[in-house]
Amino acid sequence: MMELDQWISKVKEGQHLLEDELQLLCEYVKDILIEESNVQPVNSPVTVCGDIHGQFHDLMKLFQTGGHVPETNYIFMGDFVDRGYNSLEVFTILLLLKARYPANITLLRGNHESRQLTQVYGFYDECQRKYGNANAWRYCTGCF
């Protein structure tokens, strides 16, 4: 059983999910994304965001300024990971919010949501460093 609200709080506080929790979350959100149509209707008003690139603190500031989910609807236009130091936290919180509020978060894949680019631009190495193996990277890239 997933404790989404507890996990959201945990990640917002700068902690990581346990590896098995991350795996469960990724599998759950992957099922949500598979069921969504390629053309996704979005309720307005909506805040459109792009190129977060692992900037977790900027993302938290965005929610603080733009409004928290579910009061505010968001479209994230990809490039969640790579380049920044907190790609794992960014991707995890976006997955958690998608799992908790699926109608209020739309996640679109960017060019950095690919296994090839994440091995070049840092997400793979970050997952290795933070979890000690590549499993977290495999779980996350399975959602791409």
Smallest CA-to-CA distance from 28 within 111, 114, 97 is with 97
For residues 93 and 124, is the Cβ–Cβ distance under 8 A?
A: no
Separation CA 23–CA 14 (nearest Å)? 18
Total Cβ atoms within 10 A of residue 88: 24
Of the candidates 16, 53, 57, 112, the residue annotated as catalytic is 112
Name the strand (E) or helix (H) holding 26. helix 19-35
Does the active-site annotation cover 53? no
Smallest CA-to-CA distance from 130 within 62, 79, 58, 54 is with 54
Q: Any idea which residues carry the catalytic annotation?
A: 112
